[in-house]
Amino acid sequence: MAIPTMKRNGLGPLRAFLVLVGVSALCSVALGTRKVNASLDQRGHRHRHPGHLSLHRHRQRAGKEGQVLHRSKRGWVWNQFFVIEEYTGPDPVLVGRLHSDVDSGIGNIKYILSGEGAGTIFVIDDKTGNIHATKTLDREEQAQYTLTAQAVDRDTNKPLEPPSEFIVKVQDINDNPPEFLHGPYYARVPEMSNVGTSVMQVTATDADDPTYGNSARLVYSILQGQPYFSVEPQTGIIRTALPNMDREARQEYDVVIQAKDMGGHMGGLSGTTEVKITLTDVNDNPPKFPQSVYSMSVSEDKVPGEEVGRLKAKDPDLGDNGMVNYRLLDGDGLAMFELRTDSETREAVIKLKKPVDFETKRSYTLKVEGSNPHVDPQYLAWGPYKDEATIKISVEDADEPPVFVDPSYTFEVEENAPEGTLVGRVHAKDTDVANNPVRYMIPPYTDIEQFFSINAEDGKITTTRPLDREAQPWHNISVSATEIGGHHQDTKVRVNIKVKDVNDNSPEFATNNEVLMCENVSPGKVIETVSAVDKDEMAHRQHFTFSLAPEVTHNHNFSLKDNRDSTASIYVLRKGFSRLTQDVYYLPVEINDNGFPAMSSTNTLTIRVCSCDSRGTILSCNVEPYVLPAGLSTGALIAILACIVILLAIVVLFVALRRQKKEPLIVFEEEDIRENIITYDDEGGGEEDTEAFDIATLQNPDGANGFLPRKDIKPELQYPMRPGAGRPATNSVDVDDFIKTRIAEADSDPTAPPYDSIQIYGYEGRGSLAGSLSSLESVTTESDLDYDYLQSWGPRFKKLADLYGTKDCFINDGDDGEDS
């Protein structure tokens, strides 16, 4: 529709056209009063009507007061358009039309649109100024778009008007249903709650515009859960609708809540959610015993602490509300039985407190109470929260072992009492109705050394040998009693036997230390106070008495005084003691214990004379023999170590000399490798194999110069070196030729030993009576040695004597051989 034009001060009209579709057309009419109408005067200045909004202002101020203010204004203005969301028509939606008063309609004006969605969502006809929406708009994605429009010259693209900004708002429709963002919900409410008790509040949200219409106005209702619960339509608060809902009858409820927009009217969209409501427990049920009377039984052979039976009161409540405490109220068995509560099963456990006897009492009655310790005052009127039951316990007969009259026995017997002495008697009886006889015995593990024996019939205990109190003052044994003819059950009792003391040990010195006395001791001085001990027990007012032995009663050196307190003092009678004259004195002392019978002994006190200074300080005593065995001083240890070192040095020197005497005849600079025997366990290739064996290993390194000196025989003549004697044979490949050459050299050179594989027999050592047994020289030279002495060496050397005994024999044999 066209907005009416206004003329002011004779200026040309400025027109702005708005074309809206649907609801936007109505809104544009309402907003028509906000459109700007302005006129442009002939002087080119723009004036804004009072009360209209201008987006661009420009003021010019003069320096003088009263000067008229001028501001430039654009030729067309507007503020906002409206477009309905979710439009799905076949043609683009016309948003509006722009027209400037400078547009004369000849096509020289071009309209330009920029901003959010320009060119993609919103397009403009650059000739007519019509704006269209080419896409479907969603208000929940973007509620409005800000665009800028400008009129420019079509040929030069120069702006004819300043750019103007306007807003396109997306108008909401009811296209979003309510949603419960936090569902499903879980709630708890106590059982037995009053009607109207609040359970919880649920809230739904609607993405539609809450300021436009009823699209976002929600109303709550309950679809499932009646008649137990209800919901407030406006707030969504769920409340209880029935009284006395019992958890024990039903604990959980599934409630469905609906939220509907458009104020709940027809045509509105709706959403639902589930609410799981659980009834929590309260103490509304008292405990109850399933039975009023319980029957139990216990055998008389059960020991205290054993379980007799169990019972439990039922309480359907949970946790502390269902906890039950038990106690015994009354009955004739309160002294014989006790009640405990099992912490896991919450059962009342009846246990035996004292042993029961079938022959004494055969049944007991107890009354037990079960109650709730936690009672809710709100439900106190539903009580009482306790219940009672009666327990009848019958005692069963059992074959019991014999019972001793006393729980333990203590006897006394004198030491050294003869074998068979009566110690005491134990007695046991069968408490059963049969009253069978009892047999006694002493278990061997309680009397390992078998000091005692017992009569199996009457239980009398006697000794098997004399006892020594000093060795073992107490004997603790056990006696077993077994019922004859029954199930062979036995019972044991502790028997403690004390060995009474008899004065059978003589007293003796408490210590056996020597008494040290100075040479210059004064007569009458106490040099020692002695005391005594006795293995026997000392009776009341019993003490030791001391006296010198009769043989030393009249000695002139020492005297003894009994102090009458089981001690005695030793006095010196003279002076002038000397270590050189006598360094030790032995004083026999007689000790009496005054017991019954009295025992005495003679003990010798050793007194050693020591040298002292003027103040009586001991300087030296002849006590070294008693001290040395206890340990060695540092000096003695050093002396012993020095001796050991000297002995080791002598041994090493001796071994070195011995080795020097056994040096070989020939001086070798290093060990000859040919003296080492190495076994390879492999077969060579024979004489043709010249690669498997290094011939250089047979060479003597000391013989490279052609001369090997001997240490035992100094050659009288110096043999000149033969040509080629020093030539190395490493290049020879014929082993046979090499060995023959070496043999020839050894035979012709007496100054050098034969360095072949049997050179170790060339020398027997210094001092050998036999000399050398080597026969290598005998091949080409005659020997001057006489071997006739081999005949006197015995049968072992008979073979050598036959070979070397007579030189003529070999010659004759050779001649005979040649003749033959």
- pLDDT per residue over 171-187, tens digit each? 777 788 999 999 899 99
What the block records as the tokens of 407 is 């729980």
pLDDT on residue 542: 76
**Structure tokens belonging to residue 420:** 């068979």
Q: What's the token pair of residue 632? A: 């060695």
What pLDDT sits at residue 328?
94
pLDDT tens digit string along 656-674? 888 876 555 444 444 454 4
- Measure the CA–CA gap between 729 and 738, rounded to whole angstroms: 8
Our CA angle for 93, 141, 257, nearest 5°, is 115
CATH fold of 179-280: Immunoglobulin-like (2.60.40)
Residue tagged 């050894």 (tokens):
746
Domain 80-171: assigned CATH number: 2.60.40.60
Least confident of 60-64, 287-291, 641-645: 60-64
Q: What is the pLDDT of residues 121-168, one digit of tens each?
A: 888 888 888 888 888 888 778 888 898 888 888 888 888 888 888 888
Instruction: Look at residue 751 in the predicted model and tell me its pLDDT.
Output: 65
Q: Does pLDDT of 57 surpass 50? A: no
> How many CB atoms are located within 10 Å of the residue 480 CB?
18
Structure tokens at 456: 């199996």
Tell me the per-residue pLDDT of 364-375, one tens digit each, with 9 for 90 and over: 999 999 999 988
757 has pLDDT over 60: no
**Percent of the chain's residues with pLDDT above 90:** 37
Confidence of residue 795 (pLDDT cuts 50, 70, 90): confident
pLDDT at position 664: 54
Rounded distance, CA 520 to CA 553, Å? 23
Longest dimension (CA), the chain: 184
CATH 3.40.47.10 fits 508-620, yes or no: no
Q: Considering the chain, what percentage of its residues have pLDDT values greater than 70?
A: 73
Q: What phi, psi does 511 have (nearest 5°)?
A: -135, 155
In this prediction, residues 558-587 reach a mean pLDDT of: 91
> Does residue 696 carry a pLDDT above 90?
no
Considering the domain 293-396 in this protein, what is its CATH number?
2.60.40.60
Mean pLDDT highest for which of 316-320, 432-436, 531-535, 568-572? 568-572
Assign 686 a pLDDT band (cuts: 50, 70, 90).
low
- Give the list of residues 6+ apart from residue 649 with CB closer than 8 angstroms, or none: none
Is residue 557 exposed (0-12), middle (13-18) or buried (19+ Cβ within 10 Å)?
A: middle
Tell me, what's the pLDDT at 290? 94
Tokens of 402: 């014999």
For residue 772 the two structure tokens come to 């050398």
Q: Which two tokens stand for residue 109?
A: 């004006």
Residue 349: which H helix or E strand, with range?
Answer: strand 348-352
pLDDT for 586 equals 92
- What are the domain boundaries of the chain? 80-171, 179-280, 293-396, 403-500, 508-620
Give 391-449 pLDDT, tens digit per residue. 999 998 887 788 899 999 999 999 899 999 999 999 998 877 777 889 999 999 999 99
Q: Which of 73, 97, 119 is nearest to 25 (CA)?
A: 97
Pair of tokens at residue 814:
């050779």
Torsion region of 781: left, alpha or beta (phi above 0 gives left; psi -120 to 50 gives alpha) = beta
- pLDDT average, residue stretch 301-306: 91
Q: What is the mean pLDDT of residues 513-519?
A: 89
pLDDT beyond 90 at 598: no
Express each pLDDT in 3-47 by its tens digit.
Answer: 333 333 332 322 333 333 333 333 332 333 233 232 223 223 333
Name which residue leads in pLDDT, 389 or 775.
389
Sheet holding 219-224, edge to edge: 185-190, 270-280, 252-260, 219-224
Q: Which of 414-423, 551-560, 639-648, 800-809 has the lowest mean pLDDT?
A: 800-809
Q: Which CATH number fits domain 403-500: 1.10.3720.10, 3.90.1150.10, 1.10.1740.10, 2.60.40.60?
A: 2.60.40.60
Same fold, 179-280 and 403-500: yes
- Which of 531, 529, 535 lies closest to 545 in space, CA to CA? 531
